[in-house]
Amino acid sequence: MLSDVRLKDLEELYDTPIVQQSSFWSSLKNNLGFKTLAIDFSSVKSSLYNSPSKEGKVVSDLLVVLQQIDARHAIAHIPYGPELEPDEELQGEFLEELSECLRSFLPPSCFLIRYDLCWESYWAKDLSNYDDKGLWIGEPQTAAQELRFNINTNYWNFQKATYNNLPSSTVFLDISKEPEALLSGMKPKTRYNIRLSQKKDLQIHSIGLENINIWYELYRETAARNRLYLNNIEYFEAVLKAKTQQAQTAVQLLLAEWQGKALAALFLVISGDRGSYLYGASSSEHRNLMPTYALQWEAIKLSKQQGCTQYDMFGIAPSPDPSHPLYGLYKFKTGFGGKIHHSLGCWDYPLDQEKYQFFKASELRAQGYHLN
């Protein structure tokens, strides 16, 4: 199925709309002290797709982030990769072969390959998994998921991870349309709030590393308000310092102000033909001015101006469940229209079963994104 699997220079990663598989993400992770690998591979199309019209070879690549657990143990994390997506019934077989090929490139301390898959969930494609309101019910029990995922594999080695490192549900907007058509596709309240914000004399502009403290104060306030895990300021400095050789990738920190007071900010990353809302924060004051709506609309327009045809809202609850910690983001982000995408999420390929079982048990006791 796979051939010509080799290491290559990180700067040779192909252009991709997936930020987390770009040389930008590699640079960010390197700035944070992680080691990253770029793996190039090719495959015969007929081994990936059932269509008889698929002939020849396809060349793709993969960004691997090595995460040191302690002095003697590490895991290989594949953030939203691989981008190459075979037909459903061939996905497990493909990913198994890819995992076995990766073994030789990973350090002896690595006992696990963890894929944060962006491939659409099998159960999101089945209309029987939606209720009478068109809302997704979700995946079946873990055992049923693992049975489905391991079909056609040789070793039946894939296990559903305890939790997803990256959000498994998001909203994609088609921004190839004209601005008025985009506004028409939004929920009435969202459209009203955007137009209201345009009347409030808000100033929106980009800020740089020298003003990172403005962002961080908004972020600290947001984290406390929503009981989110707090990253340190160095993390966001690394985001702005990340470099890339890919001409189509760039990051901006957008700030909304009113009468000189910072009200909201977000990180916008342009990668390929997609703009992605990566991180956002807002003040508890002057929320009636709708600065978060103004910021999102500006980010969408900027993405469109730079040639993007898609905008990723990056992370929502899988359904409008008030008990879910991302329920507020679901209400806010789905208001902009677009299509909800449910991915397969995190899947583990253990390289050492004994060490993996110990690690998985420790994860159950670990801190997640939200505080208790």
Question: What's the distance, CA 356 to chain centroid?
Answer: 24
Residue 368 falls inside a structural domain:
no
Report the 10 Å Cβ neighbour count for 237: 16
Statement to judge: residues 145 and 208 lie in one domain: no
Residue 333 falls inside a structural domain:
no
110-120 and 159-160 beta bridge pairing? unpaired
What pLDDT is recorded for position 372? 36
Residue 261 falls inside a structural domain:
yes
Statement to judge: residues 194 and 237 lie in one domain: yes
Q: Comparing C-alpha atoms, which of 267, 284, 167 is closest to residue 220?
A: 284
Q: Which of residues 308, 331, 352 is at a domain's end?
A: 308
Residue 369 falls inside a structural domain:
no
Half-sphere CA count of 162, side-chain side, radius 13 A: 13
Looking at the 3D structure of the chain, how many domains does it have? 2
DSSP letters, 35-54, are: EEEEEEEEEEGGGT---TT-
Statement to judge: residues 48 and 143 lie in one domain: yes
Statement to judge: residues 204 and 120 lie in one domain: no
Statement to judge: residues 64 and 92 lie in one domain: yes
Residue 319 falls inside a structural domain:
no
Residue 332 falls inside a structural domain:
no
CATH of residue 195's domain is 3.40.630.30
Phi then psi for 170, rounded to 5 degrees?
A: -150, 180
pLDDT at 79 over 70: yes
275's CB contacts (< 8 A; 6+ apart) are 175, 268, 269, 299, 300, 302, 303, 304, 306, 308, 310, 311, 312
Torsion sign (Cα): 212, 272, 21, 343: positive
Q: Which of residues 264, 287, 308 is at a domain's end?
A: 308
Q: Flag the least confident range among 169-173, 239-243, 309-313, 338-342.
A: 239-243
How does residue 55 score in pLDDT terms, banded at 50, 70 and 90? confident
How does residue 362 score in pLDDT terms, banded at 50, 70 and 90? confident
d(CA 220, CA 201): 25
Q: Which structural domain range is residue 193 located in?
A: 176-308
Statement to judge: residues 301 and 352 lie in one domain: no
pLDDT at 246 over 60: no
- Inter-residue contact 81 to 347 (CB < 8 Å): no
pLDDT > 70 fraction of the chain, expressed in percent and rounded:
97
Residue 325 falls inside a structural domain:
no
- Please name the amino acid found at residue 159: Q
Statement to judge: residues 254 and 156 lie in one domain: no
DSSP letters, 264-314, are: EEEEEEEETTEEEEEEEEE-SS-GGG-HHHHHHHHHHHHHHHTT-SEEE--
Indicate the length of the chain as a whole number: 372
Statement to judge: residues 116 and 26 lie in one domain: yes
Q: Comparing C-alpha atoms, which of 240, 243, 253, 238 is closest to residue 298?
A: 253
Statement to judge: residues 123 and 231 lie in one domain: no
Statement to judge: residues 281 and 303 lie in one domain: yes
Residue 102 falls inside a structural domain:
yes
pLDDT at 156 over 80: yes
Statement to judge: residues 159 and 183 lie in one domain: no
Statement to judge: residues 154 and 195 lie in one domain: no
pLDDT at 71 over 60: yes
pLDDT at 225 over 50: yes
Stated pTM of the model: 0.93
pLDDT digits (tens, 9 = 90+) for 261-317: 999 999 999 999 999 999 999 999 999 999 999 999 999 999 999 999 999 999 999
Which of the 8 DSSP states describes residue 13? P
Phi then psi for 271, rounded to 5 degrees?
A: -140, 115
Q: Which of residues 308, 330, 352 is at a domain's end?
A: 308
Exposed, middle or buried: residue 31 (CB in 10 Å: 0-12, 13-18, 19+)? middle
What pLDDT is recorded for position 363? 86
